[in-house]
A and B are shown apart, each in its own frame.
Chain A
Amino acid sequence: MRVQLRYFAALREALGSGEACDVPEGQTLGQLRDLLIARGGPHAQVLARGRAVRCAINQTMADESAGLTPGAEVAFFPPVTGG
């Protein structure tokens, strides 16, 4: 199935604003992160385990155990620093 990736702040600078991504059915957000890390290059660097990365599915904060659904908008970004 296909999901739409989006990146913000430092992740956007390293990876661009986002792309469509094909993932196997039944994957979790954490498994998608691992899949992106396995691409190597800048993905592996900025999404590496040990880096503080927050995620959202369909514009709602989500943790890595959350399941993906076809067509979902999946965002990765650093801890937030507004206010």
Chain B
Amino acid sequence: MTRVSIQTQDFDLGAEVARLRAGDGGVGAVASFVGTVRERSDGQQVSAMELEHYPGMTEAAIEAMIDEAMARFDIRAARVVHRVGLLQAGDQIVLVAVTSAHRGQAFQACEFLMDYLKTQAPFWKKETTPAGAHWVDARVADDQALARWGIAAGNAGSLAPASAP
């Protein structure tokens, strides 16, 4: 089945997990993560969020991350869905779901995939707040999260973000 979907439409966690488990009697654990649009960011009310990606590269980058997760962890299958386009506060943004025989590897692989995706998959968020719309800054904490897995991220770095003047 398709492992990676980049789409504007919403997703259904139950349906996605059911598809991921279907026909695999060896599955004893499913771990999933769903990211959603917060209604506040840095104290500002967020009314909407726009997500941009790099068609082709984004899908390929996440496919490579799943390959890496399959090599590192004893997991049976993984699925990533990421929405793009215009989202509202409270909307679902991203789903990562992983199946394995036992819970430990599923939990770890799910967190690994999210940490990897945060700093290496080409997506960009633009938030709309009462003060106007602005591109979200990358967080050093996300680079540090990936470093725990032995991978140098170098995404946020120490340089100023490349926002337009």
Contact = CB atoms under 8 A, between A and B. Distances in A.
A59 B126 CA distance: 22
B164 A10 contact: yes
Contacts of B118: 80, 82-83
Contact of A59 (B60, B124, B142, B159): B60
Given A56-B54, A59-B60, A80-B155, A10 B123 contact: no
A51 B135 contact: no
Contacts, number: 110
Q: Contact residue range for chain A?
A: 20 to 34
Nearest to B139: A81
Contacts of A8: 52, 54, 122, 124
Contacts of A54: 155
A80 B162 contact: no
Q: Among the interface residues A53, A75, A82, which one has the most CB atoms of the partner chain B within 10 A? A: A82
B85 interface: no
Contacts of B122: 8, 56, 77, 80, 82
Nearest to B143: A79
Given A77-B122, A80-B119, A52 B164 contact: no
A60 interface: yes
Interface of A: 6, 8-14, 42, 45-47, 50-54, 56, 59-61, 75, 77-83
12 contacts: A51-B159, A51-B160, A52-B156, A61-B61, A78-B138, A78-B163, A79-B137, A79-B155, A79-B157, A80-B119, A80-B122, A81-B124
